[in-house]
Amino acid sequence: MSENFGSSGQMQPLSVGNVVSAAVRLYRSHLKDYFLLALKAYVWVLVPVYGWAKFYALSALISRLAFGELVNQPESISSGQRYVNSRLWQFLVTMLLMFLIGIGVGLGAVILFALVGFFSAFLGLGQQANPATYILFILLTIVVSIVALVAIFWFFTRFYLADVPLAIEENVDGISTISRSWELTQGYVWRILAISFVAFLITIPAQIVLQILSAVIQAIFLPLINQNSTIFAPILAVFILALSFGTGAIILPFWQAIKAVIYYDLRSRREGLGLKLRDREV
Tell me the per-residue pLDDT of 11-36, one tens digit each, with 9 for 90 and over. 456 788 899 999 999 999 999 999 99
Q: Tell me the residue range of the domain where 177 lies.
A: 8-271
In a domain, 281, yes or no: no
In a domain, residue 236? The reply is yes
What pLDDT, in 10s, does the model give residues 32-80? Answer: 999 999 999 999 999 999 999 999 999 999 999 999 999 989 999 999 9
Q: How many domains does the chain have?
A: 1
For residue 3, tell me if it sits in a domain.
no
Q: What is the pLDDT of residue 142?
A: 84
Measured between alpha carbons, how far is 238 from 259 in angstroms, rounded to an integer?
31
Residue 211 within any structural domain of the chain: yes
Instruction: Report yes or no on 279 lying in a domain.
Output: no
How confident is the model at residue 238, as a pLDDT? 84
pLDDT for res 148? 87
Q: Which residues contact 201 (CB under 8 A, 6 or more apart)?
A: none
Compute the residue count for the chain.
Answer: 282
Rounded to whole angstroms, how far apart are CA atoms 179 and 174? 10
Distance CA 232, CA 178 (A): 44
Whether the CB-CB separation of 58 and 280 falls below 8 Å is answered with: no
Residue 115 forms part of a structural domain: yes
- Is 169 a member of any domain? yes
Q: Which stretches of the chain drop beneath a pLDDT of 70?
A: 1-13, 120-130, 224-229, 272-282
Q: What is the pLDDT of residue 56?
A: 95
> Is 35 inside a domain boundary?
yes
